[in-house]
Chains A and B, each alone.
Chain A
Amino acid sequence: MIDRRTLLAGGAGLLAARPVAAALTYAITPQPVGEGLWIVRGADEPIAASNGGAIANLAIIATDAGTVLVDAGPSLRYGEQLKRVAIALTGKPVVRVYLTHLHPDHDFGSMAFAPETVAATDAFRAFPLSEHQGFGDGMYRLLGDWMRGTEFRMPGRSVPVGPEVIGGRTLRLLPLAGHSASDLALVDERSGVLIAGDLVFHDRAPSTPHADLARWKQSLATLRALPHRGVIPGHGPFDPSAHAAIDQTVAWLDWVEGALRGAVQGGLDMVEAGALPIPPRFAALKAARYELQRSVAHLYLGLEAELLPRVDQR
């Protein structure tokens, strides 16, 4: 529950702590997870002014031809900082930015890069611009000056079918769906690491604003069957095993779906469903209550229309 005092304290804190825009700096610390492969971790939190919206993970890949990024953070400011960090790390300019999906915590940072280097699926590129602009409005409202100058541009390049070789490094491109209407996952063949985007969450509860749970689980089965070692999830820490984070994501989605169906069938309203006890096996998942309540908002109306019987006498 957000009360007035919290809001006032938050607002006053914001004004006092950040009198000038120059004070807004992201902490971008790449951690190596394979040869020439780094993860940049996002905060395992909701989007908030305290984290500047930097809640999603992204990947930096060094190739002979230049640096490849998978996702680019939440704002122009982030993308510009990321560019400097990545170039300092690899010694080579950024030649490609793959965007995994349309959510703003992953893709608004790509505004710092030339559109012809930014690649996304055709399905991503077919979303109306107004949808991205709507996300932008929401991000400006939550993040204020962190977002300054960020205005969405469509990626200039289509993700090809099949693998892509950049600077001697083969990237297997997997256009899937379920977390959103188009989710791109990649396997870097040299390291064997799967870069999963938001198809996989790890020790951070999955979010479902545009989810199709059945398709999502199909995509997770596809990812589970890949030969890979290690997973960079969209949110949460690197998974050095092949399956732990994938299995955890499946388990959460199964639980949420079952729990909400049971809630509708048992006569609970949305407020009660959002207060359901979270099983102890999910104790390690950050933001679990927050994401359960969001999932209630995303899924409950559909479940009521499916499960409550018609009783009108027309």
Chain B
Amino acid sequence: MTSLRFFPLAGLLVATPAAALPDDPLQSPMWEFVGSQILGADASVRFDPRVRVVMPQIAENQRVFPVTVDARGIAGVRRIVVMIDLNPIQKAVDYQLREAEPYLSVRVKLDQRTPVRGLVQLADGSWLAGGSWIDAAGGGCSAPPVSRVKGDWAQHLGEVRGEQWTGGSGGTLRLAFRHPMDTGLVDNIPAYHLEEVTVATAGGKRVGTLQIQAATAEDPVFTLRPRTAGEELRITGRDTNGVGYAALIPAVRAR
């Protein structure tokens, strides 16, 4: 009697974790595995067209492929993750936002035809997901960076370019870092990448923090949408060898 009663219950316990992630509308062969690695096997995930993942029609350059995740149609977004299912490094960037619109532009590497996803986390911990497939030639993660071939990468470590704008649609901050962003998948070049960048006002109001992995393109460029009304912004960051980045974006007035 007892064993019969427990049988269906045992079945339920085994099945629950695998069933937690919903079926993937993109039918990716790696969704369940990569999704559960990055979000957790018991994460609550819904696919939602309001998570707009905007990309060019083709991957002209598989080493520098621009992706924008625009979730400004969704209230209460705390975090944006850019995930590339079929890359050897699947998570490109993990952006925890505070005083910012839920919007992130990055450039990523593509190692083959793959889904590219934007995953946004709400205050209750649940995730909303969007994205689509993009075709790409191979080698985005396994070819040496241009600055390694040139040999001048070390001369430019720490360099940052950037600017902020304010206007009708709110603030825009663009940041461009020089870094080889080595994946560790190229012969004799260990992994070495920009790891963390924080943006805040002089008064300590945090716009957000970016956790960055080497699936982000060489010389990473980010576009954020701060809600800090053009106040001066301080940028701090470091790479995986402990090299520090510091930059100051001057204040601008609304046009």
The residues of A with any CB-CB pair to B shorter than 8 Å are 1-4, 7, 46, 137-138, 141, 209, 266-267, 269-272, 274-275, 289-290, 293-294, 296-298, 301, 304-305, 308-314
Give chain A residues whose Cβ lies under 8 Å from the Cβ of B115. Answer: 4
Complex-state Cα separation, A249 to B134, whole angstroms: 30
Question: What are 17 A-B pairs with beta-carbon distances under 8 A?
Answer: A46-B58, A209-B60, A267-B174, A269-B221, A271-B55, A272-B105, A274-B56, A274-B66, A275-B54, A293-B57, A297-B60, A304-B161, A310-B159, A311-B162, A311-B247, A313-B246, A313-B247
Is A271 touching B105 in the complex (CB atoms < 8 A)?
yes
A311/B249 contact (C-beta < 8 A), A1-B55, A304-B161 known: yes
Give chain B residues whose Cβ lies under 8 Å from the Cβ of A271. Answer: 54-56, 66-68, 105
Of chain B, the residue at the smallest CB distance from A312 is B160
Contact among B68, B133, B164, B172 for A7, CB-based, below 8 A: B133
Is A4 touching B219 in the complex (CB atoms < 8 A)?
no
B147-160 vs A, Cβ < 8 Å mask (1 yes, 0 no):
00000000000111
Does B163 reach chain A (CB closer than 8 Å)? yes
Is B133 touching A2 in the complex (CB atoms < 8 A)?
yes
Is B137 touching A141 in the complex (CB atoms < 8 A)?
yes
Contact among A46, A266, A289, A297 for B64, CB-based, below 8 A: A297
Does B30 reach chain A (CB closer than 8 Å)? no
Give chain B residues whose Cβ lies under 8 Å from the Cβ of A141. Answer: 137
Contact among B27, B61, B135, B161 for A311, CB-based, below 8 A: B161
Of chain B, the residue at the smallest CB distance from A5 is B133
Is B160 touching A267 in the complex (CB atoms < 8 A)?
no
Complex-state Cα separation, A296 to B56, whole angstroms: 10
Q: In angstroms, how far is the closest chain A Cβ from the Cβ of B74?
A: 19
Give chain B residues whose Cβ lies under 8 Å from the Cβ of A301. Answer: 64, 219
Give chain B residues whose Cβ lies under 8 Å from the Cβ of A2. Answer: 57-58, 132-135
Is B61 touching A297 in the complex (CB atoms < 8 A)?
yes
Is A294 touching B67 in the complex (CB atoms < 8 A)?
no
Q: In angstroms, how far is the closest chain B Cβ from the Cβ of A44?
A: 16
Complex-state Cα separation, A289 to B60, whole angstroms: 13
Of chain A, the residue at the smallest CB distance from B250 is A311
Complex-state Cα separation, A309 to B252, whole angstroms: 14
Q: In angstroms, how far is the closest chain A Cβ from the Cβ of B181?
A: 14
Is A311 touching B248 in the complex (CB atoms < 8 A)?
yes
Q: In angstroms, how far is the closest chain A Cβ from the Cβ of B148?
A: 16
Is B57 touching A270 in the complex (CB atoms < 8 A)?
no
Is B113 touching A269 in the complex (CB atoms < 8 A)?
no
Does B91 reach chain A (CB closer than 8 Å)? no
A4/B26 contact (C-beta < 8 A), A305-B161, A312-B159, A312-B245 known: yes
Q: Identify 7 new A-B residue pairs, CB closer than 8 A, beyond the known A271-B56, A312-B159.
A: A7-B135, A270-B105, A271-B55, A271-B105, A298-B60, A311-B160, A313-B247
Is A266 touching B165 in the complex (CB atoms < 8 A)?
yes
Does B223 reach chain A (CB closer than 8 Å)? yes
Of chain A, the residue at the smallest CB distance from B65 is A297
Is B132 touching A4 in the complex (CB atoms < 8 A)?
yes
Complex-state Cα separation, A171 to B199, whole angstroms: 62
Complex-state Cα separation, A301 to B57, whole angstroms: 18
Is B165 touching A7 in the complex (CB atoms < 8 A)?
no
Does B176 reach chain A (CB closer than 8 Å)? yes
A310/B135 contact (C-beta < 8 A), A266-B165, A301-B64 known: no
Of residues 199 through 217 on chain B, the ones whose CB sits less than 8 Å from some CB of chain A are none
Contact among B132, B134, B174 for A269, CB-based, below 8 A: B174
Does B235 reach chain A (CB closer than 8 Å)? yes
Give chain B residues whose Cβ lies under 8 Å from the Cβ of A266. Answer: 165
Is B105 touching A4 in the complex (CB atoms < 8 A)?
no
Is A272 touching B137 in the complex (CB atoms < 8 A)?
no
Complex-state Cα separation, A274 to B64, whole angstroms: 14
Does B107 reach chain A (CB closer than 8 Å)? yes
Complex-state Cα separation, A274 to B249, whole angstroms: 26
Complex-state Cα separation, A313 to B235, whole angstroms: 10
A312/B133 contact (C-beta < 8 A), A269-B223, A271-B66, A297-B64 known: no
Contact among A46, A296, A310 for B160, CB-based, below 8 A: A310
A312/B26 contact (C-beta < 8 A), A270-B107, A294-B60, A297-B56 known: no
Complex-state Cα separation, A307 to B171, whole angstroms: 19
Q: In angstroms, how far is the closest chain B Cβ from the Cβ of A170?
A: 40
Of chain B, the residue at the smallest CB distance from A266 is B165
Contact among A1, A138, A311, A314 for B57, CB-based, below 8 A: A1
Is B56 touching A293 in the complex (CB atoms < 8 A)?
yes
Complex-state Cα separation, A150 to B95, whole angstroms: 46
Give chain A residues whose Cβ lies under 8 Å from the Cβ of B132. Answer: 1-4
Complex-state Cα separation, A311 to B233, whole angstroms: 11
Complex-state Cα separation, A298 to B58, whole angstroms: 13
Of chain B, the residue at the smallest CB distance from A209 is B60
A309/B68 contact (C-beta < 8 A), A3-B132, A271-B54, A304-B176 known: no
